[in-house]
Amino acid sequence: MPVARPETSETRVIAHVDMDCFYVQVEQRKQPELRGLPTAVVQYNEWQGGGLIAVSYEARKCGVKRSMRGDEAKFACPEIQLVQVPVARGKADLNLYRSAGSEVVSILAQSGKCERASIDEVYLDLTDAAERMLADAPPESLESMDEEVLKSHILGMSREDGDDCKESVRDWMCRRDADHGDKLLSCGIIIVAELRKQVLKETEFTCSAGIAHNKMLAKLASGMNKPAQQTGVPYSAVQELLSSLPIKKMKQLGGKLGTSLQNDLGVDTVGDLLQFSETKLQEHYGINTGTWLWNIARGISGEEVQGRLLPKSHGSGKTFPGPRALKSLSTVQHWLNQLSEELSERLSSDLEQNKRIASTLTLHASAFRSRDSDSHKKFPSKSCPLRYGAIKIQEDAFNLFQAALREYIGPFGINPQGNKKETWRITGLSVSASKIVDIPSGTSSITRYFQSQSTAPSHSADGCVQEHVAMTPSASEGCSEQRSTETEVAMPEEDTSVTCTLPNFENSYKDIDLVSEKDVVSCPSNEATDIPTQSESNKGTQAKRIGQKINNLKEKNRGIPSIVDIFKNYSATASSKQETQEDSTVSSTSKRVNFSISSHNSEVNQEVEERRETDWGYKLDEIDQSVLDELPVEIQREVRSFMRPNKRFNVGKSKGDGSASSIAHYFQPLKR
């Protein structure tokens, strides 16, 4: 799984910044009276007091652990404060933590290349900033050194304990005979201390950090002294550090691969890996993983910090464990509607805040079958082009689910006699949006277009009339066909149309019978958590509609792409990516840390831009005319205006292969 990356010749300074029990801190900022108290954040769950997803350090002292239940936590630490994760649409809502994470990123991103590694972690490439500091104001030239810097831990440094450790830190950092790597590292340590102070000041969050020469070591170090501390890793300390490090502690080795190393090769520490030749490791784990292992044993990892501040996908999911497993199509639909709504909302935010659009919708589910023999078959994932608008996402998600369900159940359908109960149970559902690309910021009409697609649900709920749009001809047909039945069922709220349409992706409508009538129309009463989504009258109508041949969703989903597809063909990168790096999610109100950091800001960003240009490789001239014709005229003109000159773009003197090189140029204002 891991892939080998040769270490770059140049010495880098990489930091990994990790927020301390992040969700707890977010809640404590909201309720300051919780500060200093043993606190944990629990996920909404009646069962056993909920599951802990974050635990404060005070609570950890009492022996409270993540992956305890709320009840256990109270037992271990009676005075613990349990805060519930917000709930929206019947599921955990993490938006509060997402935006808190963005606050942090926007501060950390100022110092150099920054990668959002998770909601509460970032990697920074501080090489340039450190290099600049070393040239302009090296540590030994500083008259005073910040307290936060002096509190740093530096691996391999004599005995850090007692009070003179601050002195030794200063000495180490200012020592004249240090090699270039150590000097750069010292600068990194100073920069990170400053950044962490700034994060604390502007967000009230503490974090821990590791500073090293690559991501792997930085990550390792950030976890070594928590909370609210930082750790530096000089080259000279690497061997000793790794020699005794349990193999499973290493990133990527916490799972099966690590287990295999232990069991099959008798490797217990990273140091143990050194005994094996590169070819030996390759024999066992393949060329890529083999070399990767050989490298990490030596502290070598050339993995670059991706200049990415925003997530590459959005997902919304929920599990339905044990007895809560969903057994009817209508409850599945209910939950898919909830999940789709949340996803749609987040896509809208992403569009307006970041000017990005997603182009693929994917449905994942997990299931089991009790009655049948092979009760453990994987429920397949399905995806289709993503159409903006909550209703559309709901429809598409449900259709994807049904397609997957048929596959899951098997080509033999189930119960030809219709006597057996359905055997499937859904234990998890999730919808996600991926292939997210930037749209040019100058084209406001496009933004407006998508916003109109995603808002005003009641307005667009009356199905077919929905705007001019990216609807394919075949889809429109299907729509009008539905229309007659649809209007009579029209319910005020959600779930009007899609409920019982069983689009047949395979064009064989025998498949429709796969699901018994009972399952479609009713919510069994023994399913406590099942929420009735339809009225009685609705159910009757549904039943009648079962077996009807309805629209052909296969065409709808697979046929001519929606407007989003236009953008998958354009190089996402260049100009708009640059923006992402700079103003991304949050207002960049924060000031720069110091001159040496900010002075290199633009250069760093430029690097990012150049590198990213090759990330995506879409070709603009592959857009089908028929796709354009589907669009509102306003948009057609706009899109064509920046397509036309592009027919011959591959002649510039830009570097690289130039295939997608300066497409950005064509996305400039171009007013007419």
Active site residues: 121
Interacting positions 510-549 with DNA (CB under 7 A): none
449-463 in b/e form (b: 16+ CB < 10 A) is: bbebbbeeeeebbeb
| Nearest distance, CB of residue 316 and DNA, angstroms | 4
Nearest to 149 by CA among 172, 128, 120: 172
Structure tokens of 473? 């001809």
Contact window for DNA (CB under 7 A) among 224-232, 283-291, 460-468, 598-606:
283-291
Interacting positions 336-375 with DNA (CB under 7 A): 360, 362, 366, 368, 375
| Nearest distance, CB of residue 74 and DNA, angstroms | 16
| Nearest distance, CB of residue 537 and DNA, angstroms | 32
Query: What percentage of the chain's residues is helix, strand, coil (to nearest 5)?
Result: 50, 15, 40
Binding pattern for the stretch 304-323 against DNA, x by CB under 7 A and - elsewhere: --x-x--xxxxxxxxx-xxx
| Nearest distance, CB of residue 177 and DNA, angstroms | 36
Binding pattern for the stretch 254-273 against DNA, x by CB under 7 A and - elsewhere: xxxxx---------------
Cβ closest to DNA, residue 430 vs residue 661 = 430
Cβ closest to DNA, residue 40 vs residue 391 = 40
Contact window for DNA (CB under 7 A) among 41-49, 182-190, 480-488, 525-533:
41-49
Q: How far is CA 571 from CA 85, 507, 623, 639, 660, in A?
A: 38, 36, 13, 14, 6
Q: 390 and 457 in contact (C-beta within 8 Å)?
A: yes
Contact window for DNA (CB under 7 A) among 237-245, 284-292, 601-609, 633-641:
284-292
Q: Which of 30, 66, 544, 637 binds DNA (CB under 7 A)?
A: 66
| Nearest distance, CB of residue 125 and DNA, angstroms | 14
Task: Compute the distance between CA of residue 218 and CA of residue 155 in angstroms, rounded to an integer.
Answer: 12
Q: Which of 9, 33, 78, 376 binds DNA (CB under 7 A)?
A: 376
Residue 116 phi, psi dihedral angles, 5° rounding: -75, 105
Contact window for DNA (CB under 7 A) among 263-271, 414-422, 426-434, 640-648:
426-434
Cβ closest to DNA, residue 51 vs residue 463 = 51
Cβ closest to DNA, residue 304 vs residue 517 = 304
Structure tokens of 490? 């029209």
H helices of 355-422, in order, are 390-409
| Nearest distance, CB of residue 630 and DNA, angstroms | 19
| Nearest distance, CB of residue 228 and DNA, angstroms | 16
Other C-beta atoms closer than 10 Å to the C-beta of 27 total: 24
Q: Which of 427, 588, 598, 662 binds DNA (CB under 7 A)?
A: 427
Binding pattern for the stretch 431-450 against DNA, x by CB under 7 A and - elsewhere: -x------------------
Residue 123 phi, psi dihedral angles, 5° rounding: -105, 145
Contact window for DNA (CB under 7 A) among 206-214, 228-236, 377-385, 530-538:
377-385
Task: Compute the distance between CA of residue 606 and CA of residue 625 in angstroms, rounded to an integer.
Answer: 35
Q: 637 and 628 in contact (C-beta within 8 Å)?
A: no
Structure tokens of 564? 């989003």
Task: Compute the distance between CA of residue 111 and CA of residue 91 in angstroms, rounded to an integer.
Answer: 37
Cβ closest to DNA, residue 303 vs residue 513 = 303
Q: 169 and 74 in contact (C-beta within 8 Å)?
A: no
Task: Compute the distance between CA of residue 264 and CA of residue 281 in angstroms, rounded to an integer.
Answer: 11
Cβ closest to DNA, residue 154 vs residue 367 = 367
Q: 184 and 11 in contact (C-beta within 8 Å)?
A: yes
Q: 465 and 479 in contact (C-beta within 8 Å)?
A: no
Interacting positions 184-243 with DNA (CB under 7 A): 219
Amino acid residing at 156 = G
Task: Decide if residue 57 touches DNA (CB under 7 A).
Answer: no
Interacting positions 121-140 with DNA (CB under 7 A): 121
Cβ closest to DNA, residue 241 vs residue 253 = 253
Q: How far is CA 29 from CA 84, 194, 200, 245, 385, in A?
A: 14, 21, 11, 35, 40
| Nearest distance, CB of residue 359 and DNA, angstroms | 9
Cβ closest to DNA, residue 133 vs residue 281 = 281
| Cβ neighbours for 516, distance < 8 A, ≥ 6 positions apart | 415, 418, 421, 422
The site that binds DNA (CB under 7 A) totals a number of residues, namely 67
Q: Transcribe 292-344 into DSSP letters.
A: HHHHHTTT---PPPP-B-S-S-EEEEEE--GGG-B-SHHHHHHHHHHHHHHHH
Burial of 430: CB neighbours in 10 Å, binned 0-12, 13-18, 19+:
buried
Task: Decide if residue 246 touches DNA (CB under 7 A).
Answer: no
**What torsion do the CA atoms of 268, 269, 274, 280 make, to the nearest 10 degrees?**
40
Q: Which of 252, 441, 650, 659 binds DNA (CB under 7 A)?
A: 252
Cβ closest to DNA, residue 323 vs residue 645 = 323
| Nearest distance, CB of residue 405 and DNA, angstroms | 12
Task: Decide if residue 99 touches DNA (CB under 7 A).
Answer: no
| Nearest distance, CB of residue 104 and DNA, angstroms | 13
Binding pattern for the stretch 73-92 against DNA, x by CB under 7 A and - elsewhere: ------------------xx
Contact window for DNA (CB under 7 A) among 50-58, 264-272, 475-483, 548-556:
50-58
Q: 222 and 17 in contact (C-beta within 8 Å)?
A: yes
| Nearest distance, CB of residue 28 and DNA, angstroms | 18
Could you tell me whether strands 87-88 and 81-84 are parallel, antiparallel, or unpaired per DSSP bridges?
Answer: unpaired
Nearest to 194 by CA among 147, 142, 137, 136: 147
Contact window for DNA (CB under 7 A) among 198-206, 381-389, 586-594, 654-662:
381-389
Task: Decide if residue 472 touches DNA (CB under 7 A).
Answer: no
Instruction: Please compute, for residue 567, the number of CA atoms within 13 A of its CA located in the half-sphere on the CB side.
Output: 29
Task: Compute the distance between CA of residue 271 and CA of residue 407 in angstroms, rounded to an integer.
Answer: 47
Alpha carbon 163 to its chain's center: 43
| Nearest distance, CB of residue 96 and DNA, angstroms | 11
Structure tokens of 484? 């007659």
Task: Compute the distance between CA of residue 274 and CA of residue 253 in angstroms, rounded to an integer.
Answer: 16
Q: Transcribe 345-358 into DSSP letters.
A: HHHHHHHHHH-EEE
Cβ closest to DNA, residue 322 vs residue 492 = 322
Residues at the interface with DNA (CB under 7 A): 1-3, 43, 45, 47-48, 51-53, 66-67, 91-94, 98, 116, 118-121, 219, 251-258, 286, 288-289, 306, 308, 311-319, 321-325, 360, 362, 366, 368, 375-376, 378, 380-383, 425, 427-428, 430, 432, 568
